[in-house]
Amino acid sequence: MNGPGRDALLGGVALGLALLALDRVGVALAAPEAANPAGALAPPAPPPLEPTATAAPMAGLTGTQPPRVASYLMHARLDAPAHRVDATETLRFVNRSARPLSELYFHLYLNAFKNDSSVFLRSPFGEARGNLRAEDWGYIDVKRCTAPSFGAVDLWPSHAPGSPDEPDDETDVRLPLPAPLAPGATLELELEFSAKLPSIVLRTGYARDFAFVAQWFPKLARLEDDGTFAHFPFHAQAEFYADYGDYDVTLDVPAQSVVGAVGRRVESSARGDRRVERYRAEGVHDFAWAAWPEFHEVDRRIAGVDVRVLFPAGHENDVSHTLDALGFALPRSSALYGAYPYSTLTVVHPPEDAAEAGGMEYPTLIATGGPWYSGLFGDRGIESVTVHELLHQWFYGLVASNEARSPFLDEGLTSYAELRTLDARFGAGSAFDGFGLTLSVASLERAFAAARAEDMPVSSAAAAFPSFRTLGALVYSRTATVLETLARVYGRERFEAALGGYARRFRFAHPTPGDFFDDLGKSLGPDARRVLVQALDARGHVDFLVRDLQNAPERPPAGVFDRPGGRETVPLASPTGLHFRARAVVLRHGDLELPVDIDLVDGAGNTRREHWDGHGALHVIDYRGDAPLEHVVLDPEHKLLLDDDLLDNAAAARANPCRRTLERATYFAELALGLALP
C-alpha cells in the first residue's frame, strides 16, 4: 500500500505553486505423492486445478518455483447492479507442517465492512487515506463448504470465531475438521459463497459501475512451519499474509466490462450479454480483479513482461508517466532484487471517484492513481505510487513476510527501494522538481520520520500503532531512512547487494524480522546488524554533536631541561602565531553506533577529514596545524539521515561563520517541512 500523506503533500505543493504561478465436495485426503484413483472423485464442475494437456496455457512463471500450499480454482459471476459476486471455490491445501491439523482458519476479509462491530470499523480512523468508511455495507456469506474426503456433509455450520477475544468480528474464522489432516496430506474443499461489495473503501468495493474486487473470497490463513495458522482479525492498518499456490479464476461479467486481474488472461468469450474471462496465475498468494465498462487500455511489452494499463478517459498524461516509471523501474528492480518471474503485469488506474482503490499491490497487479494533471507542475506523485506498488512485487509478492505482524518488512523495504529508484531516475528532484525548486524523496522520508517519531519500535505489528500516520512515519519513512543511512555509510553497492541477496534467498519464502536482520548482518557485518536491530526493533536513535571547539597558539617549549651540555631554563615565550592546537569533543547521543566522518576546516580554508567509528561515548579531536581550526563539521556528506538533530553538527571557533548559518537554515527547513505535513 502506498504511504500516507506524502502524495497529498506533493499534490498540495504542486497545486500551491501552480496557483501562485497544485458444488460440491471433492475429497482428497492423501499423501501428496499418492495418486488418487481417478474415479474416486466425482468430477467437479470447474476444470481441474492441476494443469493438464488440455488446460489453458501456463501463466508463465519462470525460475525458482514456490511450494504450492493453497491453490484456488474459482468461478465468479459479477452481478453488477447488485454489486455482488457469486462464486464457487475449490481449494486444494497441503499440510506442509509436521503436525496433524484438526482445524483450518479462514479469512473472510469482506466482513470487515459488514457492521460497526468489526475490528476494522473499530480501528483508528480518519487519518489515513480517504474516509475509509463505506456508505454501503460489504460482507461475504459462505453458503456451503464440503470436502469429498469427508462425504457430503456441510462443514461450514461448525465454524466459530477465529479470534475468541473478538467474538463479534467475522473476518477470522476457525473451521474444525471432522478428522485430522496428516502431515503431507492434501485436502480439497469446495465452497460456495456470495460476496457483497461495499461502496469503495480502502482498496475494495464499487463506485457506480466500477468494481475493485479484492479480499473477496474465503481465503485460508497461512500455515506456519510449526503447524499453527497465522490468523488475525482484519485491522484497518494491517494487510495480509498467505501461502503460495496457483490460481485459476473464471470471471463472468457484463459484456461491456473491461477486466483487469491477477495473472494472465487465457480465455475470453462473449456469451450473450455476458463475457467470460479466465485468468491463471501460478505461484502467487492472492487474487484480485477490477471491472469497469469505461476502462481504456494501453498494452506494452517492458523487459519481457506483457504490461496492461487500464485507465479512465482523460488520464493519458498519467499513463505516459506510469509507463515511463515502469520502463525504468521494472528492469532495474529485476536486476537488483531478482528477475520478475511472471509474464504479465496489470496496472489499474481507478476512476477518480474510486481513488481509494489506488495505491495498492497484488501479485502481478498493481493499482496506481493520481489526478489527470499528475506531474504537470513538477510533482512525482504518480511515479512514486507506481514505483512503490511495483516494488511490492518483490517485497510482498515474492518475499511474502507477514504484513500484519511485521509491516516494516514489506512497506519499509519497499519505501527504501522506491526512494532509491526515484533517486536513480530523477536525482535531486526525485520528489518534486518545478519552479526552480527540487525536493528529494530522502529528505521527505527523513522529515516524515522525524515529524511523527513516536517512541515505539518500528517493527511493531500493524495494529499496535496508535494511528496510520504513526505507522506511516515509522514503518514506511523511518525504515527507509534507516536503510538509506546504512547504504550511505556502508556503501551503496554493498548495501544493494545485501538487500538483493536477501530478496533472492527468501524468494517464495516467508521471512521474519530475525531472518532479515541475520541475512543483512551476514552481508554487512555485526556492526550493521546491531544498528538494524536497535533502530528497527528497539527504538534506537542517534544524534551526533560537536562542542567545545577551542584554539590555542602553540608556543615553543619552555621550562627546565637537562641537556647533555647541562641544565637549561627556557623562559615562556610569546606565541609564534605560526602553529596552533585545538580541541573539540564529538558526542554521540543515542545507542546507534554508526561511524561518522568529521571535517576539520582551518582558517586558511584547508579541510582535513577524520573518521570516528562511533564506538564509545565520545571522540576527542586533537588538532595541530599551521592555521587555527575554524570549523568542525560532522557528517559533511550527509550520510547519517538518521541523525536526529542537524543543528548541533557543526562547531565554529568564532561566532557567525556562514556554515553555522547554513546548518541552522537546513535545520529550520526540515522543521518547517515537518510542520507542513498534513
What residue ranges bind Zn ion (CB under 5 A)?
1, 411
> In angstroms, what is the minimal distance from the CB of 310 to Zn ion?
20
Whether 468 and 4 have beta carbons less than 8 Å apart is answered as yes
Could you tell me which residues come within 8 angstroms of residue 302 by beta carbon, excluding any fewer than 6 positions away?
Answer: 323, 326, 327, 330, 331, 345
**CB nearer Zn ion, residue 7 or residue 169:** 7
> In angstroms, what is the minimal distance from the CB of 60 to Zn ion?
25
User: Is residue 471 classed as helix, strand or coil in its secondary structure?
Assistant: helix
Q: What angle do CA 113, 116, 122 make, to 5 degrees?
A: 95
**CB nearer Zn ion, residue 129 or residue 278:** 129
> In angstroms, what is the minimal distance from the CB of 2 to Zn ion?
6
* Phi/psi at 161 (5° precision): -55, 135
Grid cell of 640 as nine digits: 547519517
How many CB atoms neighbour CB 299 within 10 A? 8
Report the residue closest to Zn ion, judged by CB.
1
Query: Quick one: 590 exposed, middle or buried, by C-beta within 10 A (0-12, 13-18, 19+)?
Result: middle
- Please tell me the number of Cα atoms within 13 Å of 292 on its side-chain side: 27
> In angstroms, what is the minimal distance from the CB of 75 to Zn ion?
31
How many CB atoms neighbour CB 62 within 10 A? 14
> In angstroms, what is the minimal distance from the CB of 361 to Zn ion?
6
**CB nearer Zn ion, residue 1 or residue 536:** 1
Beta partners for residue 368, in sequence order: none
User: Is residue 520 classed as helix, strand or coil in its secondary structure?
Assistant: helix
Whether 364 and 281 have beta carbons less than 8 Å apart is answered as yes
> In angstroms, what is the minimal distance from the CB of 239 to Zn ion?
8
Residues in the chain: 678
> In angstroms, what is the minimal distance from the CB of 394 to Zn ion?
12
> In angstroms, what is the minimal distance from the CB of 664 to Zn ion?
35
Could you tell me which residues come within 8 angstroms of residue 27 by beta carbon, excluding any fewer than 6 positions away?
Answer: 41, 147, 148, 149, 150, 151, 187, 188
Q: How far is CA 19 from CA 14, 22, 277, in A?
A: 9, 6, 46
> In angstroms, what is the minimal distance from the CB of 395 to Zn ion?
8
Pairing type for strands 245-254 and 437-439 reads: unpaired
**CB nearer Zn ion, residue 360 or residue 524:** 360
**CB nearer Zn ion, residue 166 or residue 423:** 423
**CB nearer Zn ion, residue 318 or residue 411:** 411
**CB nearer Zn ion, residue 411 or residue 663:** 411
> In angstroms, what is the minimal distance from the CB of 64 to Zn ion?
24
DSSP per-residue codes, 349-399 = ---GGGGGG-SEEETTEEE----TTTTTTSB-HHHHHHHHHHHTIIIIIIB
Question: Measured between alpha carbons, how far is 281 from 295 in angstroms, rounded to an integer?
Answer: 22
> In angstroms, what is the minimal distance from the CB of 612 to Zn ion?
36
The residue with cell 489506488 is 358
**CB nearer Zn ion, residue 346 or residue 477:** 477
**CB nearer Zn ion, residue 236 or residue 633:** 236
**CB nearer Zn ion, residue 83 or residue 129:** 129
**CB nearer Zn ion, residue 188 or residue 411:** 411
Pairing type for strands 365-367 and 344-348 reads: parallel
